[in-house]
Amino acid sequence: MNSKRQGLGSGWMVVAALCFALMSACVKWGAGAFGAVELLFWRTSIGALCLGGAMAWRGHSPWSAHWGAHARRSLVGYLALLATFYALTHLPLSTAVTLSYTSSLAFAVLCTLKLRERPTPLILLALLLGFAGIALLLRPSLTAEQWLAGLVGLASGVLGAFTLLQVYELGLLGEPSWRTVFWFFAISSLFGLAWLVAGPGFSPVGADNVWPLLGVGLFGLLGQLAMTHAYQRGRKYLVASLAYLTVVFSALLGVWLWGDALRWEALLAMLLIVGSGLLAARR
């Protein structure tokens, strides 16, 4: 794959970042009526139905020779998303998203350790700038009641890194992004359905609360497709840096929708995060 095509592939992470920020806002919006497990179920089931219908219309087969890889990716991905949704329902929007997007840093470490890839000094600088931006945006703001949600949010970042590596490995096996996403949605929906049937059950859905569910499902689907395409076709470290844009988009949505205050430290953090992605593009 030539450098120009890799650069275009990496650009899909910008689309994914915006979609994931909108999805996170919908999770926050629906938290008053639904729990984290239920919100995640609607996200994956709506995504599976939409993507499955599109695949059937285009004549794409869901069958794969790599069931084990899909099952592992789906299990780890489900746990990562469940941790993210829990954090979103208990923490401010920008804080929860920031914690989950520590996955980009952990992904770079995993690539170095497992794939034995040695990052260039420029890439290391880009990742350090991204980490500094995230730390500056987060700030020590958790109350005593939020520490558990904070730890769960950090766990979502680590689990997310393993998921990203599994997505990359599925790409090496020749699996198209739409099939990887479909099986992730389908298997995750089964996990959520079993959990809800055996536990709390489903909350009533009506005209007043259906919109955040639709937003979670549709934006989650679009973001997942764009992210999977980016990691399979783009430059891994550049994609990891561009993923930080979700933090920026989420902070701006927090200001617009909930009136969250953005101090100068937050604005500086956004510049660092965006700058790290631009710096990584020059490697």
Per-residue pLDDT of 116-130, as tens digits, reads 767 778 778 878 887
What integer pLDDT is reported at residue 186 of this predicted model? 94
Higher pLDDT: 101 or 139? It is 101
Region 60-71 average pLDDT:
90
Q: What is the pLDDT of residue 145?
A: 72
Per-residue CA distances from 171 to 39, 180, 230 (Å): 28, 9, 11
What's the token pair of residue 205?
Answer: 């859905």
**Cβ neighbours of 201 (radius 10 Å):** 8
pLDDT tier for residue 141 given thresholds of 50, 70 and 90 = low
On the question of pLDDT at 132 being above 60, the answer is yes
The 10s digit of each residue's pLDDT in 203-262 is 999 998 999 999 999 998 898 888 888 877 777 767 877 877 888 899 889 888 988 777
